[in-house]
Amino acid sequence: MHSSAKFLIEFGTIILALGLLGRFAARFQFSPIPLYLLAGLAFGEGGLLPLGTSEDFVAIGAEIGVILLLLMLGLEYTASDLVSNLKTQYTAGLVDAALNALPGAAMALLLGWGPVAAVVLAGVTWISSSGVIAKVLGDLGRLGNRETPVILSVLVLEDLSMAVYLPIITALLAGTGLAAGSVTLVVALGAAALVLLVAVRYGRHISRFVSSDDPEKLLLVVLGLTLLVAGLAQQLQVSAAVGAFLVGIALSGEAAEGAHSLLSPLRDLFAAVFFVFFGLHTDPASIPPVLLPALALAVVTAGTKIATGYWAARRAGISVKGRWRAGGTLVARGEFSIVIAGLAVTAGIEPSLGPLATAYVLILVIVGPLTARYTEPLATRLTGRLRKPAPTADAEGGGLESTAEEPYEVG
């Protein structure tokens, strides 16, 4: 009874603290992710209030949090949307991967962490935070802007790439030999491709089977199906997160809408627990030694994300100001960077990778909303100063003429 009471007190304290931190973040209109990570650092080993009896339960909640994050992400898209984006925007996805994954891989190699850690850190620096970016677009009133579909296309391609990337790092982190690892990887990618094919061809039938007018039955069926597929995916070394993502893609129409509204509170709860769990496994004393590499990596990859958005928007025919807005909006990293780093921390490949990823995400999840707001006006002011024409005499009337400024793009 005593241990049960202690568990309830510990876990209740965590949930209450997360709720208060979330309210604080909402009041000042920024993402609560850095506060959740800091809470994990406070409750973990080396922190102010180390946990005892509730840590195992938090670990299970964290795993459910990852699954629900990817399920809800999949519910945002249909299989046909993903296929269409892949066909039309794949070059933007390739540029995004090259510009933003390579700095992470290079940093891991420079630090002497080896090729497996390089692949993991490449993913950490590559994937932008869909959740933070969606909130920023809404807060800034840019959902109707011309550059917004370009931003969303880049995010969709990143999300789709996770269905391939996560099985790869799962196989690498398993530590199997080359032959066994190759077989595992082929099985993982084949299973992911099979589920995606089923989602494209039979998604309507799956949605019809899952759909129900009773919210309770819909919740139980969707949650049960997701956990089942996630577990089977993990058995096949595909990654539970990818299995959940593909379930979300397979659902569409009323089933997807109903599941989204029912599961959103659960997603928010368990996702917060996941960020706390990641922080629990990071010793606060291990962050200062990696702070400079994390800061350098944040500066470089903020620049490469801005370049990615600028290039993609330019290719889509967006005006110069819209290109800068697209680039600045893509800077934020968050939930998926932590998911990727969490896999490596669990596998124990490099002790310093978790602290570096924590510091990196803390920096960019705070800086991201600022770059979204201020990159375009700053770039416009700087380029305006550089290109400001000198007054010249008019050929006929002797007056002055100047080059007209590009009109500001509205919407």
Q: H helices within 174-290, ranges in order? A: 178-210, 215-235, 240-250, 253-280
The one-character DSSP state at 93 is H
**Contact (Cβ atoms closer than 8 angstroms) between residue 127 and residue 162:** yes
Neighbours of 357 (CB within 10 A): 30
Closest by alpha carbon to 127, among 338, 307, 315? 338
| Distance, CA of 112 to chain centre | 26
Closest by alpha carbon to 307, among 117, 154, 177? 154
**Contact (Cβ atoms closer than 8 angstroms) between residue 7 and residue 54:** yes
- What's the CA gap between 305 and 297, in Å, rounded? 12
In the three-class reduction of DSSP (H, G, I as helix; E, B as strand; rest coil), residue 257 is classed as: helix
Residue holding tokens 């009874």? 1
Mean pLDDT by 10 residues, the chain (411 residues): 74 86 82 81 67 71 83 75 70 92 95 91 91 78 84 82 78 63 68 72 79 87 90 74 79 83 87 80 83 95 96 91 94 85 82 90 88 91 70 46 40 41
- What's the CA gap between 322 and 319, in Å, rounded? 5
Closest by alpha carbon to 284, among 227, 214, 358? 358
- What's the CA gap between 348 and 119, in Å, rounded? 15
Q: What is the reported pLDDT for 165?
A: 83
| Distance, CA of 99 to chain centre | 17
Residue holding tokens 């990337």? 165
Residue 74: exposure state from Cβ atoms within 10 A (0-12, 13-18, ≥19) = buried
- What's the CA gap between 196 and 177, in Å, rounded? 28
CA distances from 350 to 140, 173, 206, 221 (A): 39, 11, 41, 39
Specify the amino acid at residue 210: V
- What's the CA gap between 288 and 292, in Å, rounded? 8
- What's the CA gap between 341 and 337, in Å, rounded? 6
**Contact (Cβ atoms closer than 8 angstroms) between residue 339 and residue 66:** yes
Q: What is the pTM of this model?
A: 0.74
CA angle, residues 229, 235, 240, in degrees to nearest 5? 50
| Tokens linked to 302 | 């903020």
Q: H helices within 50-112, ranges in order? A: 55-75, 79-110
Residue holding tokens 């602290």? 355
Q: What is the reported pLDDT for 399?
A: 44
Backbone angles phi, psi at 380, to 5 degrees: -65, -40
| Distance, CA of 266 to chain centre | 18
The one-character DSSP state at 225 is H
Specify the amino acid at residue 233: A
Q: What is the reported pLDDT for 8?
A: 82
Closest by alpha carbon to 279, among 41, 11, 43? 41
